[in-house]
Amino acid sequence: MDILKPRNEDECIEIVKWAVSEEQPLEIMSGGTKRKLGRPVEAATLVDISALAGISLYEPDELVMTAGPGTSLVDIEKALQENDQELAFEPADYGPLFGKTPGATTIGGILAGNISGPRRLKAGAARDHFLGARAVSGRGELFKAGGRVVKNVTGYDLCKVLAGSWGTLAIMTETTIKVLPAGQKIFTVLVSDLADKDAATAMAKALGSTFEVSGAAHIPAGLTPGSGTDKSDMAVTALRVEGIGPSVEYRASGLVELLANERECQIIKTTDSQKFWRNVRDCSYFTQNTNRPLWRISVAPTDGPDIVAAVRSRADISAFYDWAGGLVWMEFGSDPAGDGGAAIVREAVNATGGHATLIRAEDDIRAGVEVFHPQDPVLAGVTARLKNSFDPENILNPGRMYGGV
Amino acid sequence: MSGDPQSALVMPDLDPGILERRSDIVAQLRTLVPGEGVIADENEMRAFESDGLTAYRQLPFVVVLPETVEQVAAVLRYCHETGLKVVPRGAGTSLSGGALPLGDGVLLGLGKFSQIIDIDYDNRTATVQPGVTNLAITKAVEGNGFYYAPDPSSQIACTIGGNVAENSGGVHCLKYGLTTNNILGLQVVLINGDIVRIGGKHLDSDGYDLLGLLAGSEGLLGIVTEVTVRILRKPETARAVLIGFPTSEDAGACVAAIIGAGIIAGGMEMMDRLAIHAAEEFVHAGYPLDVEALLIVELDGPEAEVSDLLKRVEKIAKANKASVVRVSTSEAERDTFWAGRKAAFPAVGRISPDYYCMDGTIPRRQLPRVLSVMRELSEKYGLRVANVFHAGDGNLHPLILYDANVPGELEAAENFGADILRLCVEVGGVLTGEHGVGVEKRDLMYEMFSETDLEQQQRVKCAFDDKGLLNPGKVFPTLHRCAELGRMHIHGGKLPFPDIPRF
């Protein structure tokens, strides 16, 4: 495989123009942690944009940062921490899910995949914090999307489309993101031993309260985070509150009171909370067996337990819940049908509404099943036309999301 | 803004083939939307000839008011087959002319879609038809302690469908986001009559983020027939503090210091001297009159948090030369603080025969520069300007005062406004923060975007609207044909890029 490593925007344009004229599809990669996520890309040339790195603008009191797509998330978070700020959408590091060492994720990869962590349910997704971009389309043209201010309705919001397009529409060459103050204290209320459905009810109750919960996850018994040693022999339902000291203390004890009827509650403080939520964010419970099919399922929060129960009745799975039950991470222990569990999972999800993405599976499985949730014909038509509007020759990451797209 | 259209707004050429078939087309539409759903009488159509940007008026070709999604689909399918243009309209409160009719286009009003379909407190969503007003959503859920966060100042009248089309904001955007950040699902009818569902009650889209694309697309991509929004639990308390400053620069510095201290206020609004005086005369909010700039900072959340943050804001205000600091002590007092701000536009309307409301966004730190250039421009054009500013997120609403009956003043106001928007872009901001491009800022798009940028946006339109029938004449200075936009001009082909590292 030929690897090209552009050092600047002009070289990106040059590469795409060459690819168009030579009809050479390109695989676009930044940190490469999610390279095995998606259908296998049909390209003989890899474009590694990790050299388009560096923070070119960071104005803490304007809550804005501009960085190259290849900028490491570690570097971004370090700069933010010095100013008590953070990326509120809590980007995850999926590297370890694919057997890679932690810390290789870049902002470009996060935005291209629209990857958000537990705080997504309160603060929004990566796409909600993606203010502006410069990018090279599959036509070899540089275009600008959005701007550097939060409130902007000038023209179409192309940043939204770039977020979650997995490099199939354009090569981003510069990204501008919104940053926010970090909570000074982080407390987590842990409720023990709830069944999945009761946990969903408890989480709905907490989210419907005035306590401004910024994370709501349920980890069933028996799941162990790959990085830690603490094996839970009891299910734990976790509710996070963040902010200034007096507020956090008040809200944590309010939650304990609210949920006291459910089961015994315990409060863990900032450092332990950070560790707990990092595991939820990075899905660390499923980093041990990187050959096992892993699903990420987004549904209405109250439907989460039903979907898990439906799949469990037919397959050997482990699962936990984030986003108050609305995000289900599900690992298959075995794959008798050889489809990574696609048929069973999709049937369960289609019964309620929502979507399921096959985050991890062997190449041959990902080549054979839809990795992203199959679309109805009308929506698939819009998808294909939208792809065509950016990349008419199907040069950029062809086939990664859907066949022909 | 009032007065007759005096500006040379160029809209797409009328299609003579459509005009001469009017009676046939009206008859066809009546079969698709029976009863009183088609309005073709000139007098009755007058009510639709403009939106909130009243300087521009145009009688529609015909008005169609469907009641069901099937009727919307049938009308659009017919328009697509016939080559008939379509202008969608919600409540008609757009301040940028987004719903300005076309003389050869159907004005498609969604006002009859006024049902609340589902409220789901466990999943914290409400699903409503597009003609439901913004405020009605909050009213429907407030009994259970919930609300819908975006609150444009027209929220009593404006509809959620229009909010989606314009990606409407309000005074709480810094903390709670715009419409795009608060919607989860849409049902949309495409121009060929196909009905699609995007999203639902779950978070984030699979595939391309069409939800994010449709939000703020100004009716150029599809017709929204159902919206699922996120509803939030109302904060335990909200308190406001009124802060007066001897200069606008001090007020700006105070805003930066508050944010720099890690405080994200629920709302942070600034008014300048002219706006303060107009508002005070109108609603007697008790605003100090001896200040150049007034800041209203609202903090919401648990009492423990609000009272702690209020103390910190007070301290920061004093450190930034505040001459007046007054914290609301009751809900009634907080409402009074806001009453003046919320009435600022009509208040300015009382001191001038007409006013023209602008809507740029700037990086906050550029405020002193923008205000000082605005003062120069005010002298140059001989028109006064009052400033109302969503200080938290940098969204500026200069209100240019003029008299449409004085020859040349409307034109001067428009030129003044255009200069302000150019200035916003020049300092790193944008043409419109929440009102939309519409017809108003259409011809200024080149100030912010290159031809290539705009062509890419138009190609996106082509993915939804191959014949360019949905709301043409809005947003884009010139709408190119899709076939023309699809062409590629790559020459040479043998680019060896010898310098790019290979491995």
- Encode B213-248 in three state secondary structure: HHCCCCCCCCEEEEEEEECEECCCEEEEEEEEECCH
Residue with tokens 């000074």: A184
User: 């993606």: which residue's tokens?
Assistant: A130
B302 touches A: beta carbon within 8 Å:
yes
Q: Does B15 touch chain A (CB under 8 A)?
A: no
Q: What letter would DSSP give residue B12?
A: P
Partners of residue B490 in chain A, C-beta under 8 Å: 17, 20-21, 139-140
**Cβ–Cβ < 8 Å for B287, B280:** yes
Q: For residues A364, A162, A373 and A48, what is the CA-based torsion angle, rounded to 10 degrees? A: 10
- How many A-B residue pairs are in contact by the CB < 8 A criterion? 308
For strands B62-64 and A355-360, give the pairing.
Answer: unpaired
CA B407 vs CA B4, B398, B411: distances in Å:
11, 22, 9
Sign of CA dihedral B16, B19, B23, B25: positive
Question: Cα separation of B231 and B122, whole Å?
Answer: 11
**CB contact, 8 Å: A25 with chain B?**
no
Per-position pLDDT tens, chain A of length 405? 899 999 999 999 999 999 999 999 999 999 999 999 999 998 999 999 999 999 999 999 999 999 999 999 999 999 999 999 999 999 999 999 999 999 999 999 999 999 999 999 999 999 999 999 999 999 999 999 999 999 999 999 999 999 999 999 999 999 999 999 999 999 999 999 999 999 999 999 999 999 999 999 999 999 988 644 455 679 999 999 999 999 999 999 999 999 987 678 999 999 999 999 999 999 999 999 999 999 999 999 999 999 999 999 999 999 999 999 999 999 999 998 999 999 999 999 999 999 999 999 999 999 999 999 999 999 999 999 999 999 999 999 999 999 988
d(CA B303, CA B325): 20
Model pLDDT for residues B125-159, shown as the tens digit of each residue: 999 999 999 999 999 999 999 999 999 989 999 99
Distance of CA A97 to the CA centre of its chain: 12
pLDDT given for residue B498 in this prediction: 58
Give the 3-state secondary structure of chain A: CEEECCCCHHHHHHHHHHHHHHCCCEEEECCCCCCCCCCCCCCCEEEECCCCCCEEEEEHHHCEEEECCCCEHHHHHHHHHCCCEECCCCCCCCHHHHCCCCCCCEHHHHHHHCCCCCCHHHHCCHHHHEEEEEEEECCCCEEEEECCCCCCCCCCCHHHHHCCCCCCCEEEEEEEEECEECCCEEEEEEEECCCHHHHHHHHHHHHCCCCCCCEEEEECCCCCCCCCCCCCCCCEEEEEEEECHHHHHHHHHHHHHHHCCCCCEEEECHHHHHHHHHHHHCCHHHCCCCCCCEEEEECCHHHHHHHHHHHHCCCCEEEEEEHHHCEEEEEECCCCCCCCCHHHHHHHHHCCCCEEEEEECCHHHHHHCCCCCCCCHHHHHHHHHHHHHHCCCCCECCCCCCCCC
| B262 within 8 A of B339, measured Cβ to Cβ | no
Per-residue pLDDT at B2: 41
In whole angstroms, give the CA distance from residue A70 to residue A49.
Answer: 6
At residue B153, the pLDDT reads 87
Q: Residue A390's closest chain B neighbor by CA? A: B456
User: In which residue are the tokens 């719903």 written?
Assistant: B99
Residue B3 is predicted with a pLDDT of 40
Cα separation, A35 vs A49, whole angstroms: 13
Give the residue from A119, A156, A239, A394 with the most B CB atoms within 10 Å of its CB, the best one to mutate. Answer: A156
Question: What residues 322-361 of chain B have any CB closer than 8 A to a CB of chain A?
Answer: 361
pLDDT tens digits along B219-245: 999 999 999 999 999 999 999 999 999
Query: What's residue B497's pLDDT?
Result: 61
pLDDT at B6: 45
Give the CATH fold of the A289-361 domain. Alpha-Beta Plaits (3.30.70)
| CATH top-level class of A185-284 | alpha beta
pLDDT at residue B106 in the model: 98
Residue with token string 């099943």:
A369
Angle between helix axes B344-351 and B331-342 (nearest 10 degrees) is: 50
Same fold, A185-284 and A289-361: yes
User: Would you call B272 helix, strand, or coil by DSSP?
Assistant: strand
Sheet holding B105-109, edge to edge: B38-39, B62-64, B105-109, B85-89
* Residues of B whose CB is below 8 A from A183: none
And the tokens for A55? 């923070």
Length of chain B: 503
Shortest CA distance from B440: residue in chain A: A154
The H or E element spanning position B295 is strand B293-301
Structure tokens at A77: 């978070």
- Model confidence, pTM: 0.96
Only one residue has tokens 């809200």, namely A251
- Shortest Cα–Cα distance, A23 to chain B (Å): 10
- Please judge whether B203 and A155 are an interchain contact, meaning their C-beta atoms are less than 8 angstroms apart: no
Cβ-nearest to B430 among A5, A125, A147: A147
Contact B196 A20 (CB under 8 A): no
**Which residues in chain B show pLDDT less than 70?**
1-7, 490-500, 502-503
Give me the residue spans of the domains in chain A. Answer: 47-181, 185-284, 289-361
Q: What is the pLDDT of residues A24-45, one digit of tens each?
A: 999 999 999 999 999 999 899 9
Window A:250-289, CB contacts with B under 8 Å: 250-251, 254
A197 in B contact zone (CB under 8 Å)? no
Q: What are A19's two structure tokens?
A: 């690819």
Q: Identify the CA nearest to B181 among candidates A259, A126, A369.
A: A126
Tokens of B226: 């159902």
Contact at 8 Å (CB) between A50 and A87?
no
What is the structure's pLDDT at B9? 86
User: Class of the A47-181 domain?
Assistant: alpha beta
Q: Is B30 helix (H, G, I), strand (E, B) or coil?
A: helix
Q: What is the pLDDT of residue A267?
A: 95
Residue B299 in contact with partner chain A when CB distance is under 8 A? no
Residue B5: its pLDDT value, please? 42
Rounding to the nearest 10 degrees, give the CA dihedral for residues B396, B402, B404, B409: -100
Measuring CA to CA, which residue among B288, B373, B275, B355 is closest to residue B326? B288
Of B121, B202, B430, the CB nearest to A152: B430
Q: Is the dihedral angle over the CA atoms B473, B477, B480, B482 positive or is it negative? A: negative
Does ipTM exceed 0.95? yes
CB neighbour list of residue B278: distance below 8 Å, 6 or more residues apart = B344, B347, B348, B350, B351, B386
Q: Which helix (H) or strand (E) holds B116?
A: strand B116-120
Q: Where are the alpha helices (DSSP H) in B142-208?
A: 160-166, 173-176
- CB-based contact (8 Å) between B427 and chain A? no
Q: Which residue in the set A64, A323, A393 is minimally distant from B203, CB to CB?
A: A323
The predicted structure's pLDDT at residue A404: 85
- CA end-to-end distance (rounded Å), chain A: 21
Do B267 and B392 touch, CB atoms closer than 8 A? yes
- Chain B residue numbers with beta carbons less than 8 Å from the beta carbon of A243 are 301, 305
For residue B188, which amino acid is it?
V
Chain B residue with the nearest C-alpha to that of A383: B208
Of A84, A156, A254, Cβ closest to residue B213 = A156
**CA-to-CA distance for B391 and B372, rounded, in angstroms?**
16
Instruction: Quote the DSSP letter at residue B430.
Output: B
Contact between A4 and A43 under an 8 Å Cβ cutoff? The reply is no
pLDDT at A42: 85
**B435 contacts in chain A (CB < 8 Å):** 153
- B407 CB within 8 Å of a chain A CB: no
Q: Which residue of A has its CA nearest to B455?
A: A143
Residue B333: partners with Cβ closer than 8 Å, 6 or more residues away: none
